[in-house]
Structure formats: C-alpha cells, structure tokens
Amino acid sequence: MIELSPTRTSGGRNRRRGVSPPRLAGLVGGSALAIYGITRRSPLGLVFTVSGGAIAALGAVQKRSRRQHSVWSAILVNCSREDAYRFWRDFENLPRFMNRLETVTILNRGRSQWTAIGPMGRRIRWYAEITSDRENESIAWNSLPNSDVEVNGEVRFVQAPADRGTLIRARIDYSPSLGTSSALAKFLNKGVNFLMRQDLRRLEAIMEAGEIPTIEGQSHGPRDVVTGAMRVADPTRPVRRGSNLREVFARRRSVA
Amino acid sequence: MKAVCYMGVEKMTVENVPDPTILNPRDAIVKITSTCICGSDLHLYDGLIPTMEQGDIMGHEFMGEVVEVGAGVKQDKLKVGDRVVVPFTIACGNCFFCKRELWSCCNNSNPNYWMAEQLMGFSPSGLFGYTHMMGGYAGGQAQYARVPFADVGPLKIPEGIPDEKVLFLSDIYPTGYFGALNADIEAGDTVAIWGCGPVGQFSIRSAFMLGAERVIAIDRFDYRLRMAEQGGAETINYEQVDDVVQTLKDMTGNIGPDRCIDAVGMEAHGHGLVHTMDRLKQKARIETDRPFVLRQAIQACRKGGTVSVPGVYGGFDDKIPLGAFMNKALTMKTGQTHMMRFMKPLLEKIEQGQIDPSFVVSHRVAIDQAPRMYKIFRDKQENCTKVVLDPWANGAMAA
C-alpha cells in the first residue's frame, strides 16, 4: 500500500544535520535583503542586492552537500496503471508536462541526459540512471556524479479503488550544487512544490484529455499597461538565459 | 472580427480583434450566428467578480456554424458545416468528474485552475468569457469563437429550427431546469422562486414539468411577474408586501414552500438595514456578494425542505442563517449547470413543441448595440428580459 501520510510534510526540507542559528540568520536575512534590493531598481538597491547576496552566500557556504530538499505530491488520474507507467517510463515524455524541463534524451543502459531551466534562467544539465524499475508499479532514478545538480526521483503507480483510475505519487529529492548562488536559488525555489503540483495537473490533462488546456495565443481586445506588464513578467514561465529578451517579451505581450 | 470587450467597470466596447485560431487539437472555430447577454454577465459589468482584465472578450451564450476543427476532433463527433449550440461550461469528457456527469466540475478545462483554487479550494470547469479565474477563455459575444474540447460540448441542431428557439440551450434554459431539478420536487409541492429573469422563468416552467402543484414567483418588476403568471405561477411583488417570508407562510397555510429556488444570486435587491449593510460592504470589497435572497429562502423554506441555488455567487457572504438551515433540517443543492446532461433532452422538448424558449426575448439588436444594452438590461429599462445579439448585422435593429 502507498503511504498517503508520509513522515515529511509536503514541500518540507529534510535536514540531515542542523544549521547553526547565525548561519541560518545570515542566509534568510541576506536573501531578504538581496530580494528587497532587486525590487528597488536603484543604485542603493544594487548595493543591497550585492551585500545581501554575499551575506546569504556566506550563510550557505560549506553545507551545500549536507542539505537535501524533498518534495512529493500525488494525483489521481483516470487511466490504467499500465498507461500511466508506460507514459512515464519513456522519460522523453516528461518535458511535455514538466514545465522547467527542456529535454530528456535517452542514452543507453537505463541512462538519460536531462536539461532544465533553473533559477535566474540558468540552464542546468544532469545525467540520470534508473535504479529501480518495477513494471506498472514504480520507477526510481538517481543523478550521476558528473551532474550540475543532485536529483533523485521516484514515482509509484497505485490502482485506486472502484474504477477511480490510478494514483500517481511522485517524489523528488534534490540538493543544488550551483556554487555560492545556491542559497539564493533555494530561497527563490520555495515554490518547487507548487511547480510540481502544476506539473502533475498537466500530466493528468495529457492522460485524460489528450492535451493541456490553454488560452495562450487567443485573441483579445486592447490590454491596459498593468495587465500587459503582468503578462510579460509572468514568473510561472521561465526565461532561458541567453534568449532574446525583446522577442520573448513581444511574444508574451501578445498572449491572452 | 467584431467582439464585445470588457474595458473596465461598466465599460463595454465593441472592438476589432484578430479572428480566433485553433490552439489545441480538440478545438473548433465556430462562426457565431446568434449570441446573447446573460444576467450573470451583469456581475462582470458591475465589476463584482475578481480576475477580469481589460480586453477580455465577453459572452458565454452563443450558437453558430462550425468553420474549422482541430486534428483531434473526430469527424463523426463534429465536422465543418455542423450547426451547433455551444454550452457555457467547457469539459474534457474523460476526467473523474466528466465520467460522473458532473460536467461543470471538469478537472482539465481550466488553465488557470490555481487561481480558482485560492478562492474555492478546488477549481470548477473553464467557462467562456467569465474571468481569468474561470479559465480566461475568450467569449462568444463576437463573430467567431474558439471552442475547446469541441467533441464534447457543442450540441448539433438540425436545420429548420430557428436560432431563437434553441439559442438558450447554451445556458439559461438548462440552468433554469437544473435549478428546478435540484429542488427535488415531489407531487403536491409548492415551489417558491426568487427572481423572474430568464433563469427564473425557465425554473417556473420546469418546476411544473417536474410535478409541482403550485409555483410562487417573487420579483419587483410587473412585466416580469406578468411573464411568470403566463407560465402558471402565482406572484409576489416584494416591494408591495411588508414581509416576503410572512406572505409565503400565509399563502401556504403556515407550512412554508416545500422547495425554494434562488434564481437571483449575488446582486440581490432588497430593503432594510441588512440590505444596506450588504451594499456598503460590497462597495468596500469586504463582502463579494449580497445574499439577501438566499437568507430569505432559508428562512421561508418549510422544515425538511430543499433550497436550490442556480443563482451565481462569487465569493464570500455574510450573515447566512446557518442556524435556521441546520435546525430546520434543510437540504441545499447548487452548482454551475452540468450542461451536457440536459441539452439533448431539452432540445427534444423544444422539438416536440412542449416549450418555446424564445418567449423570454425582449430585445433583438446588432452587436454594435451591445454596450448600450448592458446598461438597459442592468437597469431593467425598456422592460428588458433578454437581449439577443446579431454579430453580423449593422447598426440598430430594434424589436
């Protein structure tokens, strides 16, 4: 049976070792200062950003590999266990519903190469290896040593009672190792659980409806400045580093 | 194409916008032949439901001809040239809720479901032209519309039946019927219906179809009460009685109406201190709705009776008499209409001549007149009950 009330809370952090209070204070305070600075958009703001970032970095340094984040979520999908397993087992399908994944390429011997858009539009690449594969029941994978990040994942497929379809339960453990910016990355990454739930909702739509509902590209009347700005800044859609910002923003402005 | 756009509170304009295109495989494009303004559009006109944005295309009651279908729509379901009525709720047809015929609760049709989840815990289905929280889909007060999951919603209409007879299958006729069905009417029942707008009118007629002995209709406009009388209802003009609840008691031998239907919703009119407070709180945005009618329905309902709510509520309501609701052992049923359950059977009733829904129409105008008609409809001028728009006519064509 699947455990529906895991020991970890949803989106919670699994700390393997305690963080000393001063370091935690530096991390949180520094990050807050940095974010405040970013929002100021003035010379003083720049000072805040740099100094806050530095404090946060000092707070985060040395414990990169000691801290692991874990997120889990589950979704009930009206499809058979076989279909759900088959769809997920082909990792190249994953970018269809995991928004931040760019590509997954299957290599050999259960290995695959993954690229994703990380915090601040930075491209992250890692290699993964399937560690456990039980047909129609579960798949687990670990990232390999030569990766930008450490990401281990597991997904389980459980038959729901009374024709309710399949319960898909996914868990991701990750510990970013992006150098000193990792503290800020983690801070900004609070929404990972939210993103994961959104991913699973897209998976549900693909499995049940065959497509993901959208209004992107539909026609509309003239938008006001505020609405236009909200569309352009939409934080749920990452901008890849190095992409032509003018093009991205023009496209977003035209979006419903 | 021409489209009626929301440009701010009490500000609708007809804009020239790009024609819609297929965005998903199961989409279709419909060339609209008739469309209308719904009473629930007036909540948007008054700026009372959050997440409307300037430039949104209005409208969720429309019909027309299919001019394009996506690659994912099977020919036997829908093809170019089909004449269809489009339901206002959008449903995927294969999720937990669609499989249980809870079409208006579809899990996969609202791309902005997370907004609705903030307010309601879970998101209902996507709707046409009804806020970004409900999907942000462009609506049907336009010359063309994109219809997602076109193999599930649109109902094919045979040639020979005029638009006006079947147009209201898109929302208000099934909604009025659903309101009456939700009331669990049994033989001999007296049904009280608040609101004699189009939904109320269809609830009155549906209540009789479902076996009600008496229907008592409540409104304040004589022309609407007369229309209710034509449907067989007794009427109360609430501005001419001291106390609606007491009047209902008197009319039912002190037992109360067995079933109460709130076909008014969040912008109820009333009088007294409580109503004034509601108005102030709604203006100050500390209460989204004015649940005057809902309170009255709960108070008036006979013990062990049913309150059915087809009227639209948007958010949070104060002073709902839950004490009365609990102690009187009432049942409440509500929901956006599960359209696909009712469209076909109700079309059959129209084909058999049991009902001609076009009796509610008071105005037939060109789409260019839509901005003016919103105001007339909202203020109940010109004995307005239902406005039908012709998206292709030019200028005024008053009826």
A156 neighbors A136 (Cβ within 8 angstroms): no
What is the pLDDT, as a whole number, of residue A69? 77
Instruction: Pick the more confident residue, A23 or B92.
Output: B92
B162 in A contact zone (CB under 8 Å): no
Q: Provide the pairing of β-strand B363-366 with B387-390.
A: parallel
- Flag if A223 and B96 touch (Cβ within 8 Å): no
Quote the percentage of chain A above a pLDDT of 70: 62
For the stretch B165-187, pLDDT in tens is 999 999 999 999 999 999 999 99
Q: How far apart are CA B79 and CA B74, in angstroms?
A: 8
* pLDDT, mean of residues B268-275: 88
pLDDT tens string A174-231: 876 555 355 555 554 557 788 899 999 999 999 999 999 999 999 999 988 877 777 7
Chain B residues near residue A201 by CB distance under 8 angstroms:
113
| Beta-ladder partners of B69 | B28
Task: Count the residues in chain A.
Answer: 256
pLDDT at B175 (0 to 100): 98
- Say yes or no for a CB contact (<8 Å) between A204 and B95: yes
Given CB atoms, is B362 within the 8 Å cutoff of chain A? no
| pLDDT tops 70 at residue A122 | yes
pLDDT-wise least confident of B38-52, B361-375, B383-397 = B383-397
pLDDT score, position A71: 86
CB contact under 8 A, A221 and B135: no
Displacement of CA B326 from its chain's centroid (Å): 28
Residue spans of alpha helices (H) in chain B = 41-45, 96-99, 113-120, 163-166, 172-182, 198-209, 222-230, 244-251, 272-283, 292-300, 322-327, 339-351, 370-378
Tokens of B365: 């105008």
Span B127-132, average pLDDT: 97
pLDDT band with cut points at 50, 70 and 90 for residue B395: low
Q: Which of B84, B199, B91 is nearest to B135 (CA)?
A: B91
Q: Is B93 on the interface with A (CB under 8 A)?
A: yes
For A21, other C-beta atoms within 10 Å of its C-beta total 8
Nearest-10 Cα torsion for A127, A129, A134, A138: -40
B229-248 average pLDDT score: 97
- Identify the closest residue of chain B to A203 by CA–CA distance: B108
Q: How far apart are the CA of B54 and the nearest CA of chain A, in angstroms?
A: 5
Cα separation, B46 vs B283, whole angstroms: 11
Does B122 contact A at CB distance below 8 Å? no
Q: Confidence class of residue A16 from pLDDT cuts 50, 70 and 90?
A: very low
Kindly identify which residue of chain A lies nearest to residue B53, measuring between CA atoms: A227
Confidence of residue A118 (pLDDT cuts 50, 70, 90): confident
- Among B1, B20, B54, select the one facing A218 at the smallest CB separation: B20
Which residues in A have their CB inside 8 Å of a CB on B?
76, 78, 164-165, 194, 198, 201, 204-205, 208-224, 227, 256
3-state secondary structure of B250: helix
- Identify the burial level of A108 via C-beta atoms within 10 angstroms of its C-beta, where 0-12 means exposed, 13-18 middle and 19 or more buried: exposed
Spell out which residues of chain A touch residue B111, defining contact as CB-CB under 8 Å: 212-215
Compute the nearest-CA separation of A213 from chain B (Å): 5
HSE-up of A50 (CA within 13 Å, CB side)?
A: 5
pLDDT range class, residue B360, cuts 50, 70, 90: very high
> Distance between CA B282 and CA B263 in Å, rounded?
20
What average pLDDT does range B78-98 have in this prediction? 97
Which tens digit of pLDDT belongs to each residue from A176-191?
A: 655 535 555 555 455 7
Chain A residues lying within 8 Å of B19, measured CB to CB: 219
Q: How many CA atoms lie within 13 A of B398 on its CB side?
A: 4
Which residues numbered 231-270 in B keep a CB inside 8 Å of some CB on A? none
For A68-89, write each residue's pLDDT tens digit: 778 899 999 999 999 999 999 9
pLDDT of A247 reads 75
Cα(A198)–Cα(A204) distance, integer angstroms = 10
CA distance linking residue B128 with residue B59, whole number of Å:
7
CB < 8 Å to B24, chain A: 211-214
Mean per-residue pLDDT over chain A, rounded: 77
3-state secondary structure of A170: strand
- 8 Å CB contact between A85 and A157: yes
pLDDT digits (tens, 9 = 90+) for A6-15: 333 334 444 4
Name the amino acid, one letter, at B313.
Y
CB contact (8 A) between residue B138 and residue A204: no
Extract the tokens encoding B140.
């049907």
Give mean pLDDT, residues A30-50. Answer: 62
How many angstroms separate the CA of residue B371 from the nearest CA in chain A? Answer: 14
pTM here? 0.86
Q: What is the pLDDT of residues A62-73, one digit of tens each?
A: 444 446 778 899
Nearest to B330 by CA among B309, B304, B308, B310: B304
Residue A159 in this model has a pLDDT that exceeds 60: yes
| pLDDT at res. A28 | 67
